[in-house]
């Protein structure tokens, strides 16, 4: 009986009204198949065991690199001699043995009745294998890329607490890292229009059409989001991915205006936020006071970004704000950032900064009980609620010559986004 020449991985995709099976055929493990499972993957079918009358062609020993362990130590643990270890690692082109990551899967293959391995396989990544093989002329290495398959899927849900929980409820079969990636991608697309930590209310809804990529062993990652819709307090806000003839792809709303605007809605990337604008009991002053801004809870050292381009008019110690920065923007706007641990290099009074540029790092200087960023918007000298003051819809519209093509793309993508039969969930662990 011969050993099968292929392994078959079945990835089940559960649609709203039907079950669709995707079958990925991977080459024989000697050439490319992964040999170690990664989290949230399906099991790879193993070849049948040999009968008592026949011996296997290969002895295969799989292992993973321990934390602090060297590749030499792992191979020695597998019974490989020191001289062979040296030859294998010297031949492993593209592998820096000094920087090998803990947890790296490695397989040693030896022919029956042979005391020296014939092949050592290093899994550099989920889709990259480095085969180091012994030949008559010495040891040689070959890197093999494993295939990914892709399709599109729609996920929709309703906000009851936050975006993470909504996506978890809408797509429970999607692996957890992929669900988080989807949330981050949506937050990045809408970062000029929606603060995902502040603007979402219970009962708001979202829908996203995205490219789903399935790799070796069934691992899933999120590709481009092609179209999305958030319905906030009954008002839809759509995002359509479109590339003009002289530019790379970016996102436009349903009216053909770029989602990019003068200001970002938040000074931190999508993170936890602690207190809202309005009245609150100050934890240090022990009295009610007007809290004219928003506190963003985040780990100490988290980069703080300028919400818009402008000039630094203050960078230093400012009373209860601790280490603070004020940035003057056009049209009478000033943004203020407080409690920072430190300022970014080169940030001082008079420095010009660009939108999204790192200006400092979250800390707990001044009147702060824990690491967070205090953020304010001042318009013509008056403190304003950032959630209101930053709602500026000034994105550049699609060029006139591109509008017809955009209209066709928008119609097609929104139809796919609305197709309930298209809503799918990947049935993976």
Give the start-to-end residue ranges of the domains of the chain. Answer: 55-147, 149-265+403-427, 278-389
Confidence of residue 248 (pLDDT cuts 50, 70, 90): confident
Q: Do domains 55-147 and 278-389 have the same CATH topology?
A: no
What value does the mean pLDDT take over residues 343-354?
Answer: 97
Q: Looking at residue 394, what is its pLDDT?
A: 87
CA distances, 247 to each of 124, 243, 251, 271 (Å): 34, 6, 12, 30
Q: Does the pLDDT at position 34 exceed 60?
A: no
Confidence of residue 281 (pLDDT cuts 50, 70, 90): very low
Architecture of domain 55-147 in this structure: Roll (3.10)
Q: Does the pLDDT at position 260 exceed 60?
A: yes
Number of alpha carbons in the 13 Å side-chain half-sphere of residue 319:
1
Mean pLDDT of all residues in the chain? 82
Q: Are strands 333-340 and 323-328 parallel, antiparallel or unpaired?
A: antiparallel
Confidence of residue 267 (pLDDT cuts 50, 70, 90): very high
Domain 149-265+403-427 has CATH 3.40.50.720: no
What value does the mean pLDDT take over residues 4-25?
Answer: 30
Higher pLDDT, 266 or 1: 266
Q: Looking at residue 50, what is its pLDDT?
A: 53
pLDDT above 90 covers what percent of the chain? 63
CA distances, 132 to each of 48, 62, 108, 399 (Å): 25, 15, 10, 53
This prediction's pTM: 0.73
CA distances, 333 to each of 328, 360, 378, 390 (Å): 6, 20, 6, 10
Q: Does the pLDDT at position 311 exceed 50?
A: yes
What value does the mean pLDDT take over residues 49-60?
Answer: 63
Q: Does the pLDDT at position 129 exceed 60?
A: yes
Architecture of domain 278-389 in this structure: Distorted Sandwich (2.70)
Q: Does the pLDDT at position 287 exceed 80?
A: no
Q: What residues contact 59, with CB distance under 8 A and at least 6 apart?
A: 109, 110, 111, 112
Q: Does the pLDDT at position 286 exceed 60?
A: no
Higher pLDDT, 67 or 54: 67
Chain-centre distance of CA 406, in angstroms? 28
Confidence of residue 161 (pLDDT cuts 50, 70, 90): confident
Q: Looking at residue 33, what is its pLDDT?
A: 44
């Amino acid at each position: 009986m011969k050993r099968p020449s292929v392994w078959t991985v079945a990835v089940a995709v559960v649609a709203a009204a039907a079950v669709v099976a995707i079958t990925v055929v991977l080459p024989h493990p000697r050439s490319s198949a992964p040999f170690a499972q990664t989290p949230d993957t399906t099991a790879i079918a193993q070849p049948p065991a040999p009968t008592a009358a026949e011996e296997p062609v290969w002895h295969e020993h799989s292992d993973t690199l321990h934390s602090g362990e060297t590749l030499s130590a792992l191979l020695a643990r597998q019974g490989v001699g020191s001289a062979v270890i040296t030859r294998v690692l010297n031949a492993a082109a593209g592998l820096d043995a000094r920087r090998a990551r803990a947890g790296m899967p490695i397989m040693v293959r030896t022919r029956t009745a042979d005391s020296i391995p014939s092949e050592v396989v290093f899994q550099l990544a989920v889709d990259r294998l480095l085969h180091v093989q012994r030949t008559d002329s010495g040891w040689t290495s070959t890197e093999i890329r494993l295939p990914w398959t892709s399709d599109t899927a729609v996920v929709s849900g309703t906000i009851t607490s936050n975006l993470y929980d909504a996506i978890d409820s809408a797509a429970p079969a999607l692996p957890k890292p992929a669900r988080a990636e989807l949330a981050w991608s949506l937050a990045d697309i809408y970062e000029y229009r929606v603060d995902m930590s502040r603007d979402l209310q219970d009962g708001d809804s979202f829908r996203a059409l995205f490219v789903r990529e399935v790799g070796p062993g069934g691992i899933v990652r999120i590709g481009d989001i092609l179209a999305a819709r958030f319905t906030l307090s009954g008002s839809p806000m759509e995002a359509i991915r479109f590339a003009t003839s002289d530019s790379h792809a970016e996102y436009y709303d349903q009216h053909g205006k770029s989602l990019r605007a003068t200001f970002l809605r938040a000074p931190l990337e999508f993170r936890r936020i602690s207190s809202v604008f309005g009245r609150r009991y100050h934890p240090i002053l022990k009295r009610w006071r007007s809290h004219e801004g928003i506190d963003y809870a985040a780990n100490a050292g988290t980069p703080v970004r300028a919400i818009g381009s402008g000039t630094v008019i203050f960078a230093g110690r400012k009373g209860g704000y601790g280490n603070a920065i004020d940035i003057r923007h056009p049209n009478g706007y000033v943004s203020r950032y407080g409690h920072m641990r430190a300022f970014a290099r080169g940030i001082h009074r008079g420095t010009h900064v660009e939108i999204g540029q790192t200006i400092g790092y979250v800390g707990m200087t001044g009147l702060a009980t824990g690491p967070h960023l205090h953020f304010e918007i001042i318009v013509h000298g008056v403190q304003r609620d950032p959630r209101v003051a930053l709602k500026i819809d000034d994105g550049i519209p699609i060029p006139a010559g591109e509008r017809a093509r955009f209209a066709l793309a928008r119609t097609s993508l929104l139809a796919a986004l609305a197709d309930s039969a298209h809503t799918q969930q990947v049935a993976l662990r």
